[in-house]
Amino acid sequence: GAVVSQHPSWVICKSGTSVKIECRSLDFQATTMFWYRQFPKQSLMLMATSNEGSKATYEQGVEKDKFLINHASLTLSTLTVTSAHPEDSSFYICSASLASGRFNEQFFGPGTRLTVL
Amino acid sequence: QKEVEQNSGPLSVPEGAIASLNCTYSDRGSQSFFWYRQYSGKSPELIMFIYSNGDKEDGRFTAQLNKASQYVSLLIRDSQPSDSATYLCAVMDSSYKLIFGSGTRLLVRP
């Protein structure tokens, strides 16, 4: 149980285009979803936290107008990278949280590798 | 600034040995601690979580937590080449966000 999927698994796009990444919790309803970014040989950096039906909360330094997050339902969150540039090339990973006692464990999706040419 | 510190490694151990991975954290109010394993090009997978002081064992893995010293560790017994990966320590803050360390790369030599 507690499976999270992401689509697409990889995408290559031209500079200036927008890219949408989907994150789905397949067998549970997620109270909260998180979006992370990971550059090569670096750790995961939290970009934003989203709850169903409300606006996402962005971490300091993350441009909310560039990284649009929509959390339409308890099983789906999307991240849209608008006007992507080569510096946005990264590994984007979502996670979904199932409130479980005191742990609020996060289940991670397989990630989406974005390459902007 | 909440921080989680790990030695980047690589930590190299022979097959069958015990690998010891360490992590310190700055937020004394942290309650939950997680160890993730990440293979190259893949997303993290949870190995263990711990929230009470002391040891917690699960198969070949033992997590150790010392809140007074703000220290958490992961021991891997009978290390296998398939354990070679980057191990991420993560600490959950009061708003349920995970703060990740930079990871320790483990190499298990056959």
- pLDDT 10s per residue in chain A (117 long)? 689 999 999 999 999 999 999 999 998 888 889 999 999 888 899 999 998 888 899 999 999 999 999 988 889 999 999 999 999 999 999 999 876 545 678 889 999 999 999
A:B CB pairs within 8 Å: 47
Q: Which of B1-10, B17-26, B50-59, B72-81 has the lowest mean pLDDT?
A: B1-10
Of B43, B51, B88, the CB nearest to A111: B43
d(CA A7, CA B73): 34
Tokens of B29: 């109010």
CB contact under 8 A, B32 and A106: no
Q: Provide, as residue numbers in chain B, all residues whose Cβ is less than 8 Å from the Cβ of A105.
A: 46, 49
Of A49, A105, A108, the CB nearest to B44: A108
pLDDT score recorded for residue A101: 47
**Residue-averaged pLDDT of chain B:** 94
Of A91, A105, A107, the CB nearest to B49: A105
SS3 at position A84? coil
Interface test with A, best of B46, B97, B105 (most A CBs within 10 A): B97
Tokens of A76: 């789906």
pLDDT score recorded for residue A103: 62
Any chain A CB within 8 A of the CB of B31?
Answer: yes
pLDDT score recorded for residue A100: 58
3-state helix, strand, coil in chain A (%, to 5): 5, 50, 45
- Distance from the Cα of B89 to chain A's closest Cα (Å) equals 10
Is residue B106 very low, low, confident or very high in pLDDT (cuts 50, 70, 90)? very high
Burial class (CB in 10 A: 0-12, 13-18, 19+), A40: exposed
Nearest residue on chain B to A49, judged by CA atoms?
Answer: B97
